Amino acid sequence: MPNKLPPLNALKAFEVAARKLSFSKAAAELCVTQGAISKQIKSLEEHLQLALFDRTTTGLALTKAGKQYLPTIMSALEQIQSSTANLQQLETNNHSLKLNIIPSLSHLWLIPRLKRLSEALPNLRLNMVSGDGAFQFHQASADIAIRCLPLSLSHENSTLLAEEVLIPVIHPDLLSQTPINQAQDILKHPLLMQTTRPQLWSQFLSSVLEGGKPQEAPNFHHGFEHFFMSLEAAKQKQGIALVPNFLATEFIKKGELVNVLDAEYKSSYGFYFLVPSYRQQNDHVQQFYHWLQSEIQVNK
């Protein structure tokens, strides 16, 4: 077997193809042709004199050698990436962080507090992009990320900023027209759905209603993908929105919305700060994390 190292491009092609078990998906992620991926894999297998994939009629599968090789290659590529990033950071003395953040948190909470952030951390510059759902640093270009995820100790490279506590909010005019004096009265109003988590209203109602069941069928109204959408709909008198407490705080203080019966519901989700291992000791990352944590606690 040759002593020289395999080509880096071939190793990267193998890592992506092995993760996705698809040459076509690997080609799409690496912005090359499927033929180029096949050529790189063939070159690597010839270099190793071992088959890394089984090609079957149903698709790709890793051979025993491929399964053994993949974790080492993934770790090595991550170390190369992290070392490169650290060197680039030292070389440029970069004070910016690219933040991939869920839209509701950026629209309703972080952007309105950028002045406070600048006063607290004047040397930090954020480059923000929006995203939602599961996040993998090897698949996206970002230094840090914020996601709302099920509460768990197993989320990789993550730290819990705050547990999600949901509150029902309504425009005061609607509340004046149809008062809510007890939990069952909530059902007299249209309920604004969260389409990505449609179970939230049933869970909330079970927690606040006597016996855990509504006496009449809920009147579900418009549905929205993000909390900032349902919150705006509530401000426009479209019904009751169920939103995280700290996202609605300012609107309640201004009298634009009312927390129905001062009710709240712990959803078993939380807001997580995600940072790859090679950036965890970065001063700007640490400072931004502590600022976020303190601001969220103050504004609950």
The string of pLDDT tens digits covering residues 182-232 is 999 999 999 999 999 999 999 999 999 977 778 788 999 999 999 999 999
The pLDDT of residue 1 is 44
The yes-or-no answer to whether 8-91 and 96-300 have a common fold is no
Q: What is the CATH number of domain 8-91?
A: 1.10.10.10
In terms of pTM, does the model score above 0.75?
A: no
Checking if the pLDDT of 91 tops 50, the result is no
> Domain limits of the chain?
8-91, 96-300
Give pairs for 231-239: CB < 8 Å, separation 24+.
Answer: 231/104, 231/108, 231/169, 231/257, 233/192, 234/169, 234/170, 234/171, 234/192, 235/171, 236/171, 237/171, 237/173, 237/174, 238/190, 238/192, 239/170, 239/174, 239/189, 239/190, 239/191, 239/192
* In this structure, CATH architecture of domain 96-300: 3-Layer(aba) Sandwich (3.40)
